[in-house]
């Protein structure tokens, strides 16, 4: 009798862990959000975000032609953070970018979790 209760408890516990820990698998068939929706800044439109991303991308293309995709992605994240943007890992109605193995250790995801700090290039207006 005791072993049956222990087995049932273990099965329930395993199911809870499986459901809670597999968000990336659940979201696997959903498209990732466009990069322009992963960044926000007060009083900045999505079109302006796209323009700023393009600016960062041009710099990276020129300076990091032979770098890995991950290094280029991190450089783009760093560029946007320096401009004062905030990374949004879960834009409206899109899966959490940081739940994907390929992106969980990127600068943007680390910033969102509070594991990465950066000074912005913005001037403070008194």
- Which residue ranges make up each domain of the chain? 1-30, 32-126
DSSP-assigned beta bridge partners for residue 86: 40
Taking the model in full, what pTM does it have? 0.71
In which residue ranges of the chain is pLDDT below 50?
1-2, 6-7, 9-20, 125-126
Question: Can you tell me which residue has the tokens 């710099």?
Answer: 59
For residues 72 and 55, the answer to whether their CB atoms sit within 8 Å is: no
The 8-class DSSP code of residue 34 comes to: P
Greatest C-alpha distance within the chain: 71
* pLDDT for the residue numbered 5: 53
Cβ neighbours of residue 87 closer than 8 Å, sequence gap 6 or more: 38, 39, 77, 80, 81, 108, 109, 111, 112
Question: Model confidence over 44-73: pLDDT tens digits?
Answer: 999 999 999 999 999 888 888 888 888 999
């Amino acid at each position: 009798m005791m072993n049956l209760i222990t087995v049932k408890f273990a099965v329930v516990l395993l199911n809870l862990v499986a459901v809670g820990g597999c968000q990336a698998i659940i979201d696997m068939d959903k498209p990732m959000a466009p990069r322009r929706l992963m960044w926000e800044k007060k009083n900045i439109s999505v079109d302006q975000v796209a323009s700023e991303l393009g600016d960062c991308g041009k710099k990276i293309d020129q300076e990091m032609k032979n770098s890995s995709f991950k290094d280029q992605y991190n450089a783009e994240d760093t560029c946007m953070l320096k401009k004062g943007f905030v990374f949004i890992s879960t834009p409206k109605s899109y899966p959490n970018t940081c739940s994907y193995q390929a992106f969980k250790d990127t600068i943007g995801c680390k910033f969102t979790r509070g594991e990465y700090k950066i000074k912005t290039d913005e001037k403070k207006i008194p």
